[in-house]
Structure 1
Amino acid sequence: MLNLRRLEHLAVIAEEKSFLKAALRLNLTQPALTRSIQTLEESLGLQLLNRAHEGVSLTDAGQRILPRALQILGDAESLKREAQQLVGVDSGHVNFGVGVFPAEAFLTRLLIEQVREKPGLTVDVDIGNWQRLRGKLQRNELDFVVALTHSLPPPADFEVRPLPPQRFGFFVRQSHPLLALDALAQRQALRHYKLIGPVLPLQARLALQEIYELPHHEELPVGLSCDSVAVLQSVMLSSDSVLFATYEAMASALPCAVSSAQGLALPHVQYAAAQALATSVIHAQGRVLSPAALWLIGKIEQVLASTGSEWKADLLAAGP
């Protein structure tokens, strides 16, 4: 019998190109996933997958069936969202994603206010880099995503709702050797210290390549890639590493240090000409957002608009 769950299994296998990886992602055993696909193939009377030693691929029939399967899954998700509108804001459910640095800037305060104002609302949050969240958004696994998208634009068929922008900088511990250097010496010495930060898309690495004046982005002195601001902050404060992060995230992550560590931001190294970079709410065009999701987006706008606090002002004063 044809059902949505088996269509989802097909979609995940087509993406992962491996029964094992797909089973792990779906939290299924590999035999159970194999049976599910066999049942789907029997119900359609078609072989959908080529199973070979080097991996799994779609047959010609599978390639024709998959787009329709994805459409059906998307329609089913939209139907569920429309049904949630009948539930309303006070007892609905929202599943959204947040980029690493935007999350640090607003998420804790947002969820505190949500729990106080709408305690019956259920919220699932996925924090991660925009590359991964973009894939989940395209698979209809998230209602919307809040992310910095300047280095990896959203697909053309997605709606983008601007939020207050953020600004990237380079941060070091107090008394770091780089802080004692003048502008030219600081830029020249930068490459001799390990760079730490989130998982970076290619466009961001290319921009950093220019800043570091390197012939290839693979030569960047990356010492740690991690999607946890708390971990990155701790490593930066305990070493000579240079942290690539947003001022907004650092203002939130270092509240106790701001008043005594005005030199945290490197004053002579700038990213994207120190311009503010757009933060956006992204969701699929035509997707019906529930009242709960719309309420939460409005609350995010309020929280981000009010993050121009003393912490942020202090950090910006330490910048270029």
Structure 2
Amino acid sequence: MTLVQLRHFVVLAEQGAFVQASKALFLTQPALTRSIQGLEDELGGRLFDRLGRRIALTPFGHEVLQRARRLVSDAEALKQTGKGLHAGLIGTLRVGLSSAPGALLSTPLMLHMAEHHPKLQLQISRGNTGVLIDALREQLLDAVVVDVRSVRPSADLQIALTFELGAGFLVRPDHPLVQRGRAATLDDVLAYPVASTPLSDEVARLLIGRYGPQANPDDMVTLRCDETLSIVEVARHSHAIVLTADVAAQGLVRLDMTPPLDATARFGLVTLAQREEAPALRILREQLPTWVAGFGTPTVA
């Protein structure tokens, strides 16, 4: 017994005649007859009484018809589900976002899904890069957007869509170091609390190379938190200085430094190299460049 035979049976029962059913199914009458006879042989009973050119369901046929309709309907629903999943229109997308990507992408991603893919379930997980990479490897996440400088090269990881954003020391516009009207030194910065998310070794080397051992984040950073929005909020309401990507610190301005920092934050989309991607991940791949392009340029004080 096949779903094709069951569909032939359902259509024939609805049409009430082989001629009409054959036309509806785009089959010849002999082919439809063979299909129904094969189904009857396998089920062990007649499904129709032949009444001249017309047919009528037998009592056994009535019983089979109810189940056949459910099976055919379920099969069609499964087919549509498969198409929807493949197109990324339904199903689930599980994305991990580290600190700055979370601050920048969480809202645009949720808004896009709400407006364009309301049937798709989006799950956003936040955390530091190491935790999110572990969750990706355990297949608890479909993809992560993280600081790729903090990701150790590995054959099982695939990094794509990398993008760089200007970064520096960010302060509120009325900060004392801004008001005095000249470039700040690291000693000036260290007179205030310095806030940051965990920084990669590469960024630490850049800071030390530019400003000396005092710029080692282990010593320089006094307020450390995985959530970029939290440290930015602290800087908005105090004289704390935040070291982060400019676009993640709305309402703050970049502090003019001597020598200039000229740093960037480098983020990327990380997936498992040997795993088939979730169909809905294409949405993130398509939209991410647009969102990044719309972040704009920083204000320098």
TM-score (norm 2): 0.64
- Structure 1 residue 298 and structure 2 residue 286: aligned? yes
Distance 1:133 1:246 in 2: 20
* 1:95-119 deviation line (CA, Å, top 9, x unaligned): 1111211222232022111111100
Contact kept in structure 1, 2:106 and 2:124, CA below 8 Å: no
Q: Which amino acid is the alignment partner of residue 182 of structure 2?
A: D
* Structure 2: 5+ residue stretches without partners: 1-80
* 1:61-84 deviation line (CA, Å, top 9, x unaligned): xxxxxxxxxxxxxxxxxxxxxx97
- How big is the shift at 1:188? 3.0
213 and 171 in structure 1: CA distance in 2 versus 1, 3 angstrom threshold: same
Distance 1:218 1:114 in 2: 37
Q: Number of paired residues?
A: 219
Distance 2:218 2:181 in 1: 23
Alignment of 1:1-320 (within 5 A): 87-88=85-86, 89-179=88-178, 180=180, 182-183=182-183, 186-214=185-213, 217=216, 220-250=219-249, 254=250, 257=251, 264-268=253-257, 273-308=261-296, 313=297, 316-318=298-300
Distance 1:100 1:218 in 2: 17
Deviates further, 279-288 or 86-95: 86-95
Partner residue of 1:15?
none
User: Based on CA coordinates, which of the two structures has the bigger radius of gyration?
Assistant: 2
- How big is the shift at 1:222? 1.9
- How big is the shift at 1:125? 0.7
Distance 2:196 2:215 in 1: 18
Percent identity between the two aligned chains: 21
* Structure 1: 5+ residue stretches without partners: 1-82
- How big is the shift at 1:219? 5.6
Distance 1:117 1:270 in 2: 46
Distance 2:109 2:119 in 1: 15
- How big is the shift at 1:174? 2.5
Partner residue of 2:69?
none
SS of match in other structure, 1:159 = strand
186 and 127 in structure 1: CA distance in 2 versus 1, 3 angstrom threshold: same
Q: Which amino acid is the alignment partner of residue 129 of structure 1?
A: N
Contact kept in structure 2, 1:129 and 1:227, CA below 8 Å: yes
Contact kept in structure 1, 2:245 and 2:264, CA below 8 Å: no
Distance 1:164 1:219 in 2: 26
Q: Which amino acid is the alignment partner of residue 204 of structure 2?
A: R
Q: Which amino acid is the alignment partner of residue 298 of structure 1?
A: E
Distance 1:146 1:218 in 2: 23
Contact kept in structure 1, 2:199 and 2:217, CA below 8 Å: no
154 and 139 in structure 1: CA distance in 2 versus 1, 3 angstrom threshold: farther
SS of match in other structure, 2:190 = helix
122 and 286 in structure 1: CA distance in 2 versus 1, 3 angstrom threshold: same
Contact kept in structure 1, 2:129 and 2:150, CA below 8 Å: no
84 and 275 in structure 1: CA distance in 2 versus 1, 3 angstrom threshold: farther
TM-score (norm 1): 0.60
RMSD of aligned alpha carbons: 2.7
- How big is the shift at 1:141? 2.0
Contact kept in structure 2, 1:110 and 1:303, CA below 8 Å: no
- How big is the shift at 1:151? 4.2
85 and 266 in structure 1: CA distance in 2 versus 1, 3 angstrom threshold: farther
Contact kept in structure 2, 1:98 and 1:125, CA below 8 Å: yes
Q: Which amino acid is the alignment partner of residue 304 of structure 1?
A: V
Q: Which amino acid is the alignment partner of residue 267 of structure 1?
A: D
